[in-house]
Amino acid sequence: MDAAVLRDGDMTVVLDGVARLRWSHPGADQWLLCGLWPTGEEQEELLQRLVAGHPLLVLLGHGPATVSVYRREVATELDRFENVIESDPLLELSVPVLDWLPEPLAAHGRDFVARTDELVRTTAEALLPALIMDVGVADANLLFARRTARAVSAPGCLQARQVFAARTPAFARALVTR
């Protein structure tokens, strides 16, 4: 199973962001960036599950999805990354947000990110929940959620099924740890 994808029964949870980076471990003290989730085949499988009505929860991070790596640690083409900044010997790579979803769904997710950016920017951190959910659902079996900088405590952690079941703002507020 890939680090970017979790399964809970028939539900799929995708961690969009740096979790999409694929690493190989060819030696005891060596890690190589070898790709970006998903492959074309993995994307097709996920979209088929979505069309078939299986629930999909997309969990977005609270900040930019960037990683700094040494050039020698990269064993993949860089064309799938949104932005590549070279500063010898380092590369800063930006993982594209939601580029694996069909455009109407990706656009809805990006709008959700923009709305939550405003909420996070204008709300004191102590008042933010650990998880913000999109209640303006783009598709009946697709749900976007976003982690904030606030940590989720173990007793307050939600299971994917609980998060997906929160389809109304009132129910979502009751579930999200404050």
pLDDT tens digits along 66-98: 899 998 899 888 899 999 999 888 999 999 999
Per the document, the length of the chain is: 178
Predicted model pTM: 0.79
Q: Is 61 left (phi over 0), alpha (psi -120 to 50) or beta?
A: beta
Is the pLDDT assigned to residue 137 strictly greater than 90? no
> Nearest 5°: CA angle at 16, between 78 and 98?
75
What was the pLDDT predicted at 167? 45
